[in-house]
Each structure stands twice: as structure tokens, then as C-alpha cells.
Structure 1
Amino acid sequence: MRTRRRLALVAVVGALALVTGWSASAQESPDRGLYRVTAADAEARTEVARSGVDVLGVRGGAVEVVASPAQASALRARGFDVELTGDVAAALTSRSGPRSVADFPAGDEGYHTYDEMVAELRAAADEHAEIASLSSVGSSYEGRDMPIVKISDNAATDEDEPEVLFTCTMHAREHLTTEMCLRIVNRFTDGYGSDETVTGFVDTREIWVIPSQNPDGAEFDISGGEYQGWRKNRQPNEDGSVGTDLNRNFSYKWGCCGGSSGTPSAETYRGASAASAPEVTNVQNWVNSRVVGGEQQITAHIDFHTFSELVLWPFGHTNDQVTEGMTEEEYARFEDVGTRMAESNGYTPGQSSSLYITDGDINDWMWGTHKVLSFCFEMYPASGGIDGFYPPDEEIGPQTARNDAAVDILLTNAG
């Protein structure tokens, strides 16, 4: 990590008051406001999410969202307590700080741009050629490669060993997850031969890592050296808007259950059809390709997101634990492994739908289609507004290392 000045992360409301003079008592609402919506249970939170707002996080009986004044008014009309807490544009400007064009905003250069990420992966594969190989699952909408790294004691050979997949950066603004996948790559290559735990897993597993499932969106999110608060990919829609929410575009139960939006401009737009986003098609096709001799070789998976400090498991499309595609014994295994991982990192465990209903997400697809033990990790911080997606780069080391034990628990249970 390069030497740099520490850019302090300030609270959104305080920053707005000091930097822009904004206050909740302002006469005019911002075009895109930060709101706190009281919603104590999953049913209420699902109703909030279905309204088309951008859900940032859930904490303390409330949902933090980005919404337009019209969306906020519509929620109030439905009986929700809706409090305006900030202006998105002002919050992003405050968090971005000085510009560092073609890189992260000044002070956050410890995060990897797309080109820096690719260079890091190439270096790992070159320096550890016997145990690491670098390839691609395909190209993004704008033509960027989506690299994948394989780590195993005989990386060039498809051995009869349990395979484990780690995926990151589904949503563009969740840059800490790219760093999480890079840590996994570096830990299991640099530590081989010297770290007994690492060596044991590399010798008995095939570890796959996709550090960025949304390279176009991630690059756009830091365009001009300022944070954009962008979530989706960069694929144009028929109505002139841009972007599909990749984590609502997977084929299993796509659009089934009110857990995504059919409106292209919505933050949870599910796409024109299942797997209509090339990034999702690439991931699905690659996972499908790991069915060898009629048996899926991947046995376990984590998809890393930010933020809220949660460990979540399927299903997201239903509140039921025992249902089509999930037996009582299978759910108990998810709960057992998920709870143990959460105990190791201090996150909160639970079924995905305990927050609110989602459909077309990668975890439901991995389990519903391939019976892969698949989890969603929502990383640091535990709560926040739009700034929660942009922790200072000083947090990269401690917050990625925080998940080492959880990664090891998953690898152990992949056998």
C-alpha cells in the first residue's frame, strides 16, 4: 500500500452541516436524498425495497435508503415514518475529497483500480506458477476481462478435489470486496509452504477467485477521481437509463417474488430477461462448466458485498426455511456453517430473506441450480449512509484479515 495522507471518514450529516450548510430543516429536499425509514420487520422492509428506493443497509429497526422526494412521499403515504438525513450528491463530494483523476480519490489510493487489480493477479500467478493460474470467465459489457484465479497444489491439473469459489464486486461501489478477493489470492499463494493452514488447504482443495464481477461499474464509480455511488453494471436500457443490478439478474427464480424491479431506472432493476447482463452470463456459464461427469465440482462459495457485517444464506426469494429446493437438514447445515463463520468475524448470521425479499441473486442460483453451499458476506462497516460503501483505505488490511478464519471454516466444510 502506498504511503499517503489519511483521509478521515466523517459522519454524513456532520459533513453536510460543516461543508455545505445542509440541514434536515432545509426548505427544499435534494434530488437524491438519504433517508431513514422505520421498518421493524422483514415484511415492512420488503415493502420499502419494492418501492424502488436504493437500500443501503438495515440497522436498529430502520432502513437507510437513497430516494427521490417523490419516493419518500410515496412511502409516507403508505404509513412509513421517513426522515430525511442528508443529500447524496453532497455526501459523495464530501467523502471523495481532493480529486485523483484515473485513480481513487486522494487519500484512498490504497484501493486497486481495475488495471492495478489485474496487475496484482498477474504478479501472483507469475510468482507462484506451480500453484496459481490466471484466466478469464469472459468480458464485461464494455469489453473488460473478468479475471479468475485458480489456486491448488497442481494448478494446471483438474484434480479430484473439492472446489471452492470466492466472488467479489457484484455491485460497483463495493470496492472493499475487491480487496477481500485479492487478500484471498495473496494469502493462499504467498503463504504456501510456510503457513501450515494455507498449505493444507492448497494441497487438498481447488480454490477459485473472481475479484470483480462488475469491472465496468467499479471503474465508473471512481470516474473523474470522485465517488459516484454507482451500483449496477453499465449496460444501456431501452428507456435510455443505464445499468442492471447484477445480483437480481441470475436465472434461478428470476423476477419471481417481488424481490427486484422491472423498472430499468430502478437500482434493483433485474434486467430485460434472466442473465441478460453479460457479466452474469459469464459467471453462470463458468460455474455450469464445472459440472464434470454430471457432478458439480464446486461445493462451497462466498459472494462478498458491503456493508452491514452480516453472514447470509439462501433462500432470499422466500421467508420459508423448508421449501422447494431446501430440506430441513440442508437448512440446518447452512445455519450451522453460517453461524460458525459469523462467530469468527463478529458478523450477524441469518437467512437472506430475514432482511427483505430478493430474487435473482447469485446465492439462490448457486444453491437452487447446483446445490453449492453458498453464502453472502456483507462486510464492514456495520452501519452507515452512502459513506458506508467507502471506508478509508486504512481499513483494507484489518477488515479483509477479519475474514481469514471464516474463509478457513468454509474451506473445511467444502470437503
Structure 2
Amino acid sequence: MHLSLRALVAAALGASLVLSAPVTSSASHRPVSTNSPDRVVYEIATPGAEDRSAVAATGVDVLGAKDGTTTVVAERSQVKALEATGLELTPLGDADAQLAALGRVDFAPNGDATTLDFPSGYAGYHNFAEMTAELRQTVTDHPNLARLTSIGKSYQNRDLWMIKISNAPATDQAKPEVLFTCNQHAREHLTVEMCLRIVQRFTDGYATNAAVKNLVDTREIFVVPSVNPDGAEYDIATGSFRGWRKNVQPNSTATGTDPNRNWGYRWGCCGGSSSSGSSDTYRGTAAFSAPETARLRDHVNSRVVGGVQQITTHIDFHTYSELILWPFGYTYDDTATGLNADQANAFATLGRQMAGSNGYTPQQSSDLYITDGGINDWMWGVHKIWSYTFEMYPASGSGLNGFYPRDTVIAAQTARNDGAVDLLLTYSDCVPRIIGKTC
């Protein structure tokens, strides 16, 4: 699996797979010309955050950024804007050929999806039906610990499942609430497995692990394993991978909104998202124009009880780059309106301690590059929820293949975050306690 990008592309020359917008079932799939690919992977020399932000502002699909380079997928229409940054661009090959190399290409004659499942070598991942069955089985096995509800529907009417884990799951207790969300971006399937790991550990482990029992007894844990189920299903609908990032809601020029640019705090403010419907960072027509983000927003808003937000901490899991990020993303400043020096210190201290347990790199979100309309900024800016993004395994990838590690890594790469999850839960009563402050 861990081939160099050039080897991967060479192996895939002539393979056909098109990353097309999700449209009706009559959509056709034409082969990609290897002489003139529609989408190209570039490695770009980006020594500073400002350089990475300039790249992101072009609307390209940023795959990862680390060690002075940023890897992107650019469509033909975006190449001129990339060149205008003046940064050194190294083309690394046809993006769609990479995807074709990862799994079988299995199109029906009319282009209809035939499998709705993962390709060979990825069967350990859960599709939507399997994830739903896993959550339901958890409630069956642990009715005194787990309660499953839907917080609403996706654009294509799939349930947005949320499971609550508590020693009294049917009761709204006066305990800190902790929220874990996964799979805002469709192709980041390892994150679904991360949320399922959290669910399994705090239910299956309750009877035998004293530390797990203590955390469940003193917290209320909420897990949303797939914020973007439509996009995730579209990504695997042919039995091969499409590299799809957004949801599947049509827009005026293309398909899909980037859920993690659609949140309402400083939405579209600062060059950290795109107004172009074809861009992978398209922010939508308005904040919360995506039904998936709107329904998660509604749940978080509903947890304000007696004027007090019950959710104290949150992790949103993504892939890839092995990073821990915290607000703000819209500004380079360490402090800003609504984020003072003590709060910034507490964010950084907990972030560094969690990184010490899993080996990730901790940093403020904007140290990577500027983003606006992100979930962490909204959680903190609106509700003062201590909200982090975890970018999971791998640390770096050869373009799009970084999103698709084989299923053999699932167990180790999800368990790798056990300590960080426990740290977040431990400090969820009062995060400033980590710097010696009171709440």
C-alpha cells in the first residue's frame, strides 16, 4: 500500500476512473486521458503558513501539508491560480489514475453503481449499513449503557446516527457532555472506524476496565460516527474509490458542499474557503446550507440547558497528516476576540498532552493554513466548547492514496488515540484545570 506516488501512478497508467459529481443514476463514466488528465496531483513548496494559505485560497483540494510541502489535487481550471502564487509546483501525475490503482474499477454498462461497498483489501471498513448495524448491536448488547438516536437526515435522507454512552443513557444527567464526530469529509473512512472504536471501548470495556467505567460513570459521551453518510456512500458506490470530499447536495454549478467550510462562525470571512461550486472547499450558499451541518448544529444548540452549554469538549476526526488542531482557523493570531491568553494556553497545553500520547503534531489550526467556516471555530466561538480536530494516520501520503490505508491498519491506528480520548474526557469537567486555572 505504501508505494511512492510515481510508482503508484506508473502502475495505474491507462486505468480509467472519473471523479464525477454525484448526479442521477444515468451518469456516464468516461475514461481519463493519461495525456491530458482532468485532475493532477501537485507537490508545492510551502515553507510558511502564509504560503499554504495562498495555495488553499485557490480552491484546490488540499490533501496534506507537512514538512514544508503541500500536496493538492488541482483541476485544469485551477492551475493558473496555483501558478500565480509564485510557489514551486511539481506535478506528480493523474489523480484519477491513483484512485484506480487502489481498487477494482467495477462499472455497470450504463455507469450505475453496482456494489456500494469497499474494494478488495478494504473489507474491514464499515459502509453505512454495516455501521448502522454495529450501532444497533451495541444498544442490544448494552441497553443500560447505550442509546441510539438520529439527529436528523442527510440530503439523501440517511439517518445521522448519534449514540449516547452513559451509566444512565435514557436520563439527562448533570455531568459534562463530550462529543465525538467523524466523517465530515466523505473519503475519510478511517474516521468512522475511530468513532466505532470509541463506542466499542466504552461499552464492551465497561464491565472489566476500571478506568473506562470511571469515565462512563462521570461523563455523558455522544458519538456521531458519520456526519456525511451520503458522501461516504458515493465515494465507494462503484466498488472503487472516487476521492470524494463533499456532501452530495447539488449547487448552482456542480455538486456538493464542504461540510467543514459550512459552519456559521466567521463563515466565508477570510479566504479560507471557496465560493466556487466546483471547488472541494466550496462553503455553500450560506452558513449551514448543508443539511448535515445544520442538523449537528441543532443538536449542539439543543444542549444549552438553563443558559449553560452542557457539551464541554469535542473532537472532530479527519484524515490525514497526524495532527492535533485547535481554534482559531480563520486568523493567524494566537488570541482574538473570544479567545484570551489563558484559553489559548489551555487549548495548546491539552493539545500537546494529547499529542504526547499518540505521536501527532499539535498546533493551532491556522498554523497549518487559514480556514473559515470550520467546526472547531464555531464550537468555540459560539458555545465555548473546547473543540479539537484530529488528523489521523498516515503522517504523509502520496496524494489521494493517503486517504485509503488498507484495513490492516484500522485496529492499531484507532487504538493509538485511546490515551488522547481519555485525556480529553478526564479534563472535560474543567479544561483550564490543565494550566492550574479554575472554571
TM range (shorter): over 0.9
Q: Does 1:382 align with 2:395?
A: yes
2:286 corresponds in structure 1 to: 273
- After TM superposition, the structure 1 = structure 2 runs for residues 324-363 of structure 1, keeping only pairs within 5 Å, are 324-363=337-376
Q: 1:13 aligns with which of 6, 14, 18?
A: 6
Aligned AA for 1:11?
S
Q: Once the two structures are aligned, what percentage of the paired residues are identical? A: 55
On the 8 A contact 1:101/1:223 being kept in 2, the answer is: yes
- Alignment of 1:409 with 2:409, yes or no, is no
Paired with 1:68 and 1:148, the residues of 2 have a C-alpha distance of 36
Per-residue CA deviation, residues 303-339 of structure 1 (Å, 9 max, x unaligned), is 0000000000000000111110100000000001000
Q: CA deviation at 1:28?
A: 4.0
Cα gap change, 1:202 to 1:78, in 2 (>3 Å): closer
What RMSD over aligned residues (CA atoms) do the two structures have, in Å? 1.5
Instruction: Classify the secondary structure of the residue corresponding to 1:237.
Output: coil
TM-score by length of 1: 0.95
Aligned match of 1:312: 325
Conserved? CA contact 1:72–1:82, under 8 Å: no
Q: Distance in 1 between matches of 2:51 and 2:2?
A: 31
Q: After the TM superposition, which residues 126-145 of structure 1 pair with which residues of structure 2 at under 5 Å, given as runs? A: 126-145=140-159
Query: Which residue type is aligned with residue 298 of structure 2?
Result: N
Matches within 5 A, 1:29-108: 29-97=36-104, 99=106, 101-108=115-122
| Cα-to-partner distance string for 1:11-51 (whole Å, 9 max, x where unaligned) | 332022234279xxx99442100000111101111110011
Does the CA-based 8 Å contact 1:259-1:358 persist in structure 2?
yes
For residues 255-294 of structure 1, what are the structure 2 equivalents within 5 Å? 255-294=268-307
Taking structure 2 as the reference length, what is the TM-score of the superposition? 0.90
Task: Tell me what 2:210 maps to.
Answer: 196
Partner letter of residue 135 of structure 1? Answer: T
SS at match of 1:409: helix
Q: Give, as a single letter, the amino acid of the residue that structure 1 aligns with 2:265.
A: Y
Query: Using a 3 Å threshold, how does the CA distance of structure 1 residues 223 and 27 change in structure 2: closer, same or farther?
Result: closer
Partners of 1:35 and 1:82 within 8 A in 2:
yes
Say which of 136, 146, 149 aligns to 2:160: 146
Q: Name stretches of at least 5 consecutive residues in structure 2 with no aligned partner.
A: 16-32, 107-113, 430-439
Matches of 2:35 and 2:127 in 1, distance apart? 37
Superposition deviation, residue 52 in structure 1: 1.3
Q: Which of 353, 371, 376 matches 2:384?
A: 371
Contact 2:9–2:97 (Cα < 8 Å) also in 1: yes
Contact 1:29–1:69 (CA under 8 A) maintained in structure 2: no
Partners of 1:227 and 1:172 in 2: CA distance? 11
1:267 aligned partner, one-letter code: D
The secondary structure found in structure 2 opposite 1:224 is coil
Report the count of equivalent residues.
Answer: 404
Counterpart in 2 of 1:167? 181
Amino acid at match of 1:111: Y
Report the Cα distance in structure 1 between the residues aligned to 2:197 and 2:152, rounded to whole angstroms.
22
1:112 aligns with 2:105: no
Partners of 1:89 and 1:311 in 2: how far apart? 29
Gaps of 5+ in 1: 1-7
| 1:286-309 CA-partner distances (Å, limit 9, x unpaired) | 000001111000000000000000
| Paired letter, 1:76 | E
Residue 212 to residue 27, structure 1, CA distance change in 2 (3 Å):
closer
Alignment-derived partner of residue 21 in structure 2? none
Equivalent pair of 1:9/1:392 in contact (CA under 8 Å): no
3-state SS, counterpart of residue 238 of structure 2: helix
Distance 1:36 1:232 in 2: 22
**Counterparts of 2:47 and 2:35 in 1: how far apart (Å)?**
28
**Contact 1:9/1:95 (<8 A) preserved:** no
Q: How does 1:233-248 map to 2 (within 5 A)?
A: 233-239=247-253, 241-248=254-261
Aligned equivalents of 1:190, 1:27: Cα separation in 2: 49
